[in-house]
Chains A and B, each alone.
Chain A
Amino acid sequence: MPLASRHLLGLEGVPKEDIQLILDTATSFREILERPIKKVPTLQGMTIVNLFFESSTRTRISFELAERRLSADVVNFSADLSSVKKGETLKDTARNIEAMKIDMVVMRHAAVGAAHFLTRVIKAIIINAGDGTHEHPTQALLDMYSIREKLGKIEGLNICIVGDISHSRVALSNIYGLKTMGANVAVCGPKTLIPREIGKLGVKIFYSVDEAIKWANVLNVLRIQLERQDRAFFPSLREYRQYFAITKERLDKSEKQITILHPGPINRDVELSAEVADSEHSLILQQVLNGVAVRMAVLYLLGTRSESK
């Protein structure tokens, strides 16, 4: 069965079979990434535009590599949002690009719902590469792939997301995906960084990182920023580091082995100590490699999905 939707806008509401299919398909692409020629002709003749209104070198490179390894034609469009806001609207930009006969758009945008909006104004297949503080589905998929690869399963694991939950698209997509796949999900951070009604999404809440460590098999540690839109949600990075950073000392208090993920880029010794980031229990570099495979899987499944379903 092909994926239920012709776009990948988020993981909210995506059925378990679809997530399973993407993860299983990614396994095939992981093998291709080990070959001397890391390229297959699958999407030959397909044109994909990477439309990035926020700078995100990592995500764009990962998508671009995935696209090129599937032999698609790739066009990159990067623009600073502030300049776009003054000039052409997203609708006009997208329609102009579509007029050049493109098949798929991968978009990063600062506005929540921007990818959904795009599906209403152009016909191309849309992949959301992050819409503001809403969703970043391929990140959560590669996180899940990495967890499954390391621990053999997702179901039944205790997975805690640590950091700025309120402003994280990674957190939301992970919560949706992991819940669907049967994991127990928790969030941990200062109360000012946790939405008041997050409990209604079926997650546990920890305000103490030591308690979270006691509970978790996996910690997905988010990048922390002191200021967002000129507002400080906690007093200082120093205080955050003291009370919420994941350090070896904190992890050593736990009897079980805890796997560490981080979507990158890391603020070393802020949310994560260097020692932990580089340890054998950290999946950070595997996440990067798996990111390409998972994105290839998504591109393949959407790019070859038959319309006459």
Chain B
Amino acid sequence: MKYLFKNSHIIDPTTGKDTKVDILIVDGIIEKIGNNLSIDINSLTYDLSGKIVAPGFIDMHVHLREPGYEYKETIETGCMAAANGGFTAVCCMPNTNPPIDEASIVRLIKQRAENVLKGLVDIYPIAAITKGREGKELAPMMELVDAGAVGFSDDGSPVENAEVMRRALEYASALNKPIIQHPEELDLAKGGLINEGYVSTMLGMQAIPSIAEEIMIARDLQLTEYFAAQYHAAHISTAGSVELIRMGKKKKLNVSCEVTPHHFSLDDNAVRSFDTNTKMNPPLRTREDIEALKEGLRDGTIDVIATDHAPHSFDEKQVEFLFAPFGIVGLETAVSLASTELVHKNIISISQLIEKFSINPRRILNLPPILINEGVRANLTIFDPSIEWIVDIQKFKSKSKNSPFNGWKLKGKVFGIFNNGIFHPPE
């Protein structure tokens, strides 16, 4: 199978490549990159004028829900949502039922993924740090890595016990794998539904203070420094967290962090509608926090944009705010939100956007970088930063539609992905 992509604007931050060329892919391998490649009758030809061709994007924070919660999402629907959203790979979080704390479950997930769309989307499982995600005993990390786990997290719950966290950091660093912490001090956050601040005061709503997140990150940074380990803070949401990570990086610690598109796109005023699709953990924060997150993205303190894609069924979210589960889907709006809120608002360049969606997460997970060179397997995300479109949750491939962005007009749209020999344009 031959594909010819005419007038491709390749941006590859790894090699610094930034050129407008044609790309010929034969049987999944980039055969030729050059100007005016001749059109072959046997090849599928696309004109990519105005579109960016980037190394394939990876979402390092996704809840695929399988096994255990297949009514919310399955590996199949989750992969389709990822492909639709422009991701050639996802990392799935271990809060399944049973949780990913045994090698057999890692293998099961990888097998399932291979059968979806002929293996179009690569799945890299994140295994649990502790057995049953209970924060007590370490999970069998070596076995999990051998089965294919690329990192460790108890996401949804923090590792609260400092001694357990110490052992986890020590053990995982010997395996060259990051510990991905869900940073939340549970006593301070107890009972909270939204950010503590003006909005929670107005609504009389039980709240989660920003320091619940920051205290945990501060502690973890000290552990990371002391034990010279690798630490990644998931879904940071506050100005204080950005500052802590910035300080950690100044000290040359092996630390990194991610932000979700909803945390830089929406502030806690959105909660005033009582729309349960504005309920997530960490909660939507204030305007000032958003500004700090954007500054962190701009200056490189925040390495990664990851979705924390958290599907929940329609009925689960059609309840009182108090009873609704935390979380929203994000795979199918992430790239467009980043383009709209960050690139078009001159916070980051397109090249930085690609770093945060592709280069940095792979570096943090110690995965080989994706290159756009002749002779390598094509792993590409193609997007058009100038196309405007309106989000329609009914068109999501994800099994769940719990998004607060329905009806939003976004600028920037994924054109398609190429991976494992298959070109997949979204429908």
Contact = CB atoms under 8 A, between A and B. Distances in A.
A268 interface: no
A198 B201 CA distance: 6
B322 A112 contact: yes
A169 B204 contact: yes
A85 B324 CA distance: 12
Contact of B201 (A111, A121, A197): A197
Contacts of A200: 198, 201
A168 B201 CA distance: 11
A142 to B, nearest CB: 19
A70 to B, nearest CB: 29
B101 interface: no
Given A113-B274, A116-B274, A229-B191, A135 B204 contact: yes
B420 interface: no
Nearest to B321: A113
Contacts of B206: 112, 133
Given A113-B320, A114-B320, A134 B205 contact: yes
B202 interface: yes
Contact of A110 (B197, B203, B274, B322): B322
Given A134-B203, A134-B205, A195-B200, A111 B318 contact: no
Nearest to A121: B318
A90 interface: yes
B321 A111 contact: yes
B191 A111 contact: no
Contacts of A196: 196, 201
A91 interface: yes
Interface residues of B, number: 21
A111 B279 CA distance: 14
Contact of B197 (A85, A116, A117, A197): A197
Interface string B182-200: 0000000011010011101
Contacts of B200: 195, 197
A12 interface: yes
B414 to A, nearest CB: 32
Contact of B323 (A85, A135, A195, A201): A85
A93 B369 CA distance: 54
Interface in B313-327: 315, 318-323
Contacts, number: 68
Contacts of A7: none
Mostly, the B contact residues are: loop
A172 interface: yes
Interface string A194-210: 01111011000000000
Interface string A171-206: 010000000000000000000000111101100000
Nearest to B322: A111
Contacts of B203: 112-113, 134
Contacts of B193: 112
Contacts of B274: 112-113, 116-117
A168 B200 CA distance: 13
A167 B320 CA distance: 18
Contacts of A85: 323
Contact of A201 (B202, B319, B320, B322): B202
Given A90-B319, A112-B322, A113-B320, A134 B204 contact: yes
A111 B196 contact: no
A197 B204 contact: no
Interface string A225-264: 0000101000000000000000000000000000000000
Nearest to A89: B319
B211 to A, nearest CB: 11
B318 A132 contact: no
A161 to B, nearest CB: 13
Given A113-B274, A133-B206, A90 B198 contact: no
A90 B320 contact: yes
Interface in A103-129: 109-114, 116-117, 121
Contacts of B205: 112-113, 132-134
**Could you say which of A12, A121, A195, A231 has the most chain B C-beta atoms within 10 Å of its C-beta?**
A195
Given A89-B318, A90-B320, A109-B320, 14 more contacts: A12-B202, A89-B315, A90-B319, A91-B319, A112-B204, A112-B321, A113-B205, A113-B274, A113-B320, A132-B205, A195-B200, A196-B201, A197-B197, A200-B201
Interface of A: 12, 85, 89-91, 109-114, 116-117, 121, 132-135, 167-169, 172, 195-198, 200-201, 229, 231
**Top 3 A-B pairs, shortest CB-CB distance:** A113-B274, A111-B322, A111-B320
16 contacts: A90-B320, A109-B320, A112-B205, A113-B322, A114-B322, A117-B274, A132-B204, A132-B205, A133-B204, A133-B205, A134-B205, A172-B204, A196-B196, A196-B201, A197-B200, A200-B201
